[in-house]
Structure 1
Amino acid sequence: MTWINETGVARPYADGGNRSRQPEEHPMAISANAQQGTWSVSVHTEETQEGGFRATIHVKHVSPEGDFERTFQQSQVFAVEREAVLEGLREGMTWIALKTTRTIGV
């Protein structure tokens, strides 16, 4: 039997499903990837020392003008890991949109 923790991840109960003891928690980073055509955005989270979660974002765009890759970390720390991943995907896709529309030149 499993339970869903605050980040939306299913975890096994420590006693095999009896619920008489605290569930076992195994730290695990969440990651996500979005891609279409010539671009991709990858995100993975890590727990911060001060508590909370921050995502590392990797964007890639392949074009005739040259390939573009950038890896950066979120400046904001999120209390919930799921929110860090979703915001990381948004940030990465914003970078791709700005790059492909030539709003920014990098």
Structure 2
Amino acid sequence: MTMSGKVSDSDWAVSARVDPVPGGFTCAIEVEHSDETRKFAHQFKHHRVFETEREAVLDGLHEGLVWIERKMAHSILCSGEG
């Protein structure tokens, strides 16, 4: 069984799922953000391999939250925006 975590608010959510790999654990991150007109979702893998599942899921959630913060501040524009 792998570890996972999720944090959310009314218009955004961040999920992190840990997967075992040789040498440790990786983390897959999914971010979702919605506004009045549309819903946006993005998935990515964390760039590191972690020694423990706990480290992987916590850092994955942190990376997702940073991504959401930048998206909501409009410092990240995605295809079809702007």
TM-score by length of 2: 0.90
Deviation string 1:31-74 (CA, Å, 9 cap, x unpaired) is: 000001100001110001x2200110000001125221001111
User: Rg bigger for which structure?
Assistant: 1
Q: Which one has the bigger helix percentage?
A: 2
Q: Give % identity.
A: 37
3-state SS of the aligned residue for 2:77?
coil
TM-score by length of 1: 0.70
Q: Which one has the bigger strand percentage?
A: 2
3-state SS of the aligned residue for 2:41?
strand
Moved runs in structure 1, 4+ residues, more than 4 A? none
Residue segments in structure 1 that go unaligned for 5+ positions in a row: 1-27
Deviation string 1:5-40 (CA, Å, 9 cap, x unpaired) is: xxxxxxxxxxxxxxxxxxxxxxx2000000011000
The structure whose RCO (Cα within 8 Å, separation 6+) is larger is 2
Give the number of equivalent residue pairs.
78
Residue segments in structure 2 that go unaligned for 5+ positions in a row: none
Deviation string 1:67-98 (CA, Å, 9 cap, x unpaired) is: 21001111100001100000000000011000
Distance (whole Å) between structure 1 residues aligned to residue 76 and residue 43 of structure 2? 16
